[in-house]
Structure 1
């Protein structure tokens, strides 16, 4: 009888663990789509600017699946600066339990201890979701002041280590996972975030250059404990690929590259990166090619002056096609109210976004120095997608062997970017592709 009880308890435990994993993966059944303030505002975005982008998203993009509005780095600093960080005389805003809170001069609705709840409520009323960026660890200022960890008898001084402190921003110390109060600190953070109505958290200095598995697991536990569906995105990249199984089990998305900006070389590098990470994608766990530096960026950002993206139009099609056929999250980096008609068209092509959301068995067929071809299955039986990329600086004809995707008979090819039916083809299909350009096609029998 005792042995039977033990077996039953073990089975129950395994079922609960599987259910827990299934639950948080179910929060992101398709790659998350949204806007992030980093590419245009760096660490200086204001509440008014966040609301302006949210208003645009609700009006123009929400119907296509865009829903997350993410306030990026250092929203807790009153006097940060563009093109870098103010680490000389930064004015931190922090509560009595060592938790950063919004800077009221930048986020007026957070006054009187309201935190980000009023801003989250504003977004939720529009049918959108709210996200923030945080840094891994515990604030240095909390350690220096010896602030208590909520619900414990220990202080910030008892759970920190200076080892592996972030090298590019020294706001935080490492939290030592086995210290009394360590898990409780992360619990207190996400209790507060859940009370604000948070839906998405991007945690930086977490997955590269050092993979902090202990803190990743503490964050996962803290989120699960709240009972709120808060997506977890880890940053920066490249996440070490030998930790692919671990990150897939703990996060909804994780970075595959370092910060990505508007130049052909880093875009071209994504072909190899995405091929490398392709096997680790699963429903609810998405390798992340980083934000889309499209539209008007650099307003008060880390790199460059205010500008429309430096990508050519063909390169912008390539970016959106590659991210969609790989099924990377889409986080737009430009200031949405400044979008021109072309930029808006990139974000609202339903047929292209269907590839992102619903395609299956995505994989590269070819990737060399001059060209790449990806394929995927569409939901409808006998229907496939093909993405063709020209990596060279000259226009080129690229031949696709239709037999490689199981089309041994005549099939109809439709250009998904234009919606034009190109005709029937047998054996091969050889589109003309512009320099650094792409073609995305639906193949039907």
Structure 2
């Protein structure tokens, strides 16, 4: 890593969180005030508008969430209020983006400014300063989302770059443009490039910005623009915490991103999906060695509480996570020391959601624990541990991630090869003999590539017996699961038309891996035919999704595991001997243990403990 960052990192080790070194190595001189890592001594905590409002949040909604935070969460350390994507478009749409006729708002130097119809206090060229002032007046901090690059519209209009004789048309390249949103072009290194980014953050600093989330930066990793943004923030004269998005950031770039940003994404967009949550055990284990004071791997937002009011994905709902799964989410994010950015609508919170966000024992562990790491993984039983540098106590988190397993693909009546956007037509014809079957199970599985956009469509699904046919889409299913969202008839899982390989289909079933849909078959039908395809929503995202479609005529579900199992931990593994005091951080209950500690943990649930040497 660069020598400057190495010196600064050493200076910051009194701050909590240096996981990759033993506790004895974490004592060093106080942090230099000039080091941006000192701006986030603990993982940032706040609210972001994306999960509930997508690209359409209004100033009134931001203020309402800020007011709730000031009243109910600020005392627990929550402080950032972040306006997510496309605050500069006056006529954006929910469940997708308006790219047909966006109402752009930008200044004479090609810099986006807030849409006044959505943010009235920005009128008269004030930008976000009045809103930032409002938040600062409540003891909170203000953040925005931006897209990497220079606006396409600024390039088209050849708008000047502040402080230069160049225009936006002199600094752009179409290479690397985001495939999922076309607002921006890549900024190419050269004359005017740094000056453009400098002008951006000069404007943001004048607004009073405290936090910036820069999208389309992590995967693929745009190193030159990461460095330009770092320099621009440093020149701005304001302490602006820098977050990169979305992931997974390449692990090979861990040192570079830690030398330039305060937090960086480890996954793509994360929603209220158990499938996605379970994947985080592997992801967090991979990134734990790279936790640093002031530089944090980011497991993405907390999709809890009320979501989807006008979001890109899904409907208006309370989080689909069960209470056990919500404990798992908060426990894993906390012991991993991920930044905590709440995605739900705060004024709609219920008492349970609020209790998850304000547990002082859990938050204290999140703020100051060190040497955070996975202790073991035994199948889907997982243990994490961390140290309390102030007391010598150990933290222990236990997770039961067991699932009801599915039969292997070899037992299916029909199985597709892996389908990707490189597959011709991004689809595969389905033709299955179902003679004598009374049940039909449509199963879609993730191809295992780490891409979360596994939107899957069963197109024109038809039962037949000779000339007699019946559309499966007209039959009610017995049950349906989806790895994200909900299975939907005659629409994709995102609510859009069924589009595969640039062709739109009127009939079909939209779902998302991992998915299982069960039907009771009417008598007499002998064949099932369909087209199985990767929906356009998945094919268009970054490298696209990867799916396998399977058809079963007998239940593929294996017997379910027990609802609750013991997870034994030898206290010696934690460096503890003799009798120890065990405090449950979620419930506050206190007990003792000696030799081995083996609590029961509910399936999809978690437990979190502080363990101290000695009895009560």
Query: How high is the TM-score relative to the length of structure 2?
Result: 0.69
Write out per-residue CA displacement over residues 324-373 of structure 1, whole angstroms, 9 at most, x where no aligned residue: 00100000000000000000000000000011101011111112432100
| 2:65 match | 53
Gaps of 5+ in 2: 12-30, 404-562
- The answer on 1:303 being equivalent to 2:471 is no
Q: How many angstroms does 1:172 deviate by? A: 0.3
Write out per-residue CA displacement over residues 12-48 of structure 1, whole angstroms, 9 at most, x where no aligned residue: 9997999889610000000000000000000000000
Greater C-alpha radius of gyration? 2
**Which structure has the highest strand share of the two?**
2
Write out per-residue CA displacement over residues 250-304 of structure 1, whole angstroms, 9 at most, x where no aligned residue: 0000000000000111100000000000111100000000000000000000111
Q: How many angstroms does 1:380 deviate by? A: 3.4
| 2:599 match | 431
How far, CA to CA, are the matches of 1:380 and 1:289 in structure 2? 26
- What are the residue-to-residue correspondences of 1:95-110 with 2, within 5 Å? 95-110=107-122
- The answer on 1:167 being equivalent to 2:176 is no
- What are the residue-to-residue correspondences of 1:118-267 with 2, within 5 Å? 118-177=130-189, 179-208=190-219, 210-267=220-277
SS of 1:357 mapped into structure 2: helix
Write out per-residue CA displacement over residues 200-238 of structure 1, whole angstroms, 9 at most, x where no aligned residue: 000000111x11000000000000001210000000000
How many residues align? The count is 432
SS of 2:143 mapped into structure 1: strand
2:377 to 367, 370, 384: 367
How far, CA to CA, are the matches of 1:380 and 1:171 in structure 2? 48
When residues 366 and 13 of structure 1 are mapped into structure 2, their CA distance, relative to the original with a 3 A threshold, is closer
Q: How many angstroms does 1:381 deviate by? A: 3.0
- What are the residue-to-residue correspondences of 1:27-38 with 2, within 5 Å? 27-38=39-50
Write out per-residue CA displacement over residues 72-130 of structure 1, whole angstroms, 9 at most, x where no aligned residue: 00000000000000000111001000000000000000000000000000000000000
How far, CA to CA, are the matches of 1:14 and 1:361 in structure 2? 19
| 1:6 match | none
How far, CA to CA, are the matches of 2:97 and 2:259 in structure 1? 33
Q: How many angstroms does 1:409 deviate by? A: 1.3
CA contact (8 A) 1:160 1:176 kept: yes
CA RMSD of aligned residues (A): 1.7
- The answer on 1:77 being equivalent to 2:89 is yes
How far, CA to CA, are the matches of 1:212 and 1:439 in structure 2? 38
Gaps of 5+ in 1: 1-10
CA contact (8 A) 2:5 2:259 kept: no
Q: How many angstroms does 1:312 deviate by? A: 0.3
When residues 75 and 13 of structure 1 are mapped into structure 2, their CA distance, relative to the original with a 3 A threshold, is closer
How far, CA to CA, are the matches of 1:16 and 1:392 in structure 2? 42
CA contact (8 A) 1:271 1:367 kept: no
| 1:321 match | 331
- The answer on 1:444 being equivalent to 2:616 is no
CA contact (8 A) 2:49 2:343 kept: yes
When residues 12 and 202 of structure 1 are mapped into structure 2, their CA distance, relative to the original with a 3 A threshold, is closer
CA contact (8 A) 1:374 1:387 kept: yes
How far, CA to CA, are the matches of 1:39 and 1:303 in structure 2? 8
- What are the residue-to-residue correspondences of 1:348-427 with 2, within 5 Å? 348-393=358-403, 394-421=563-590, 423-427=591-595
**Which structure has the highest helix share of the two?**
1
| 1:346 match | 356
How far, CA to CA, are the matches of 1:256 and 1:402 in structure 2? 31
2:300 to 287, 290, 302: 290
CA contact (8 A) 1:138 1:174 kept: yes
How far, CA to CA, are the matches of 1:155 and 1:354 in structure 2? 49
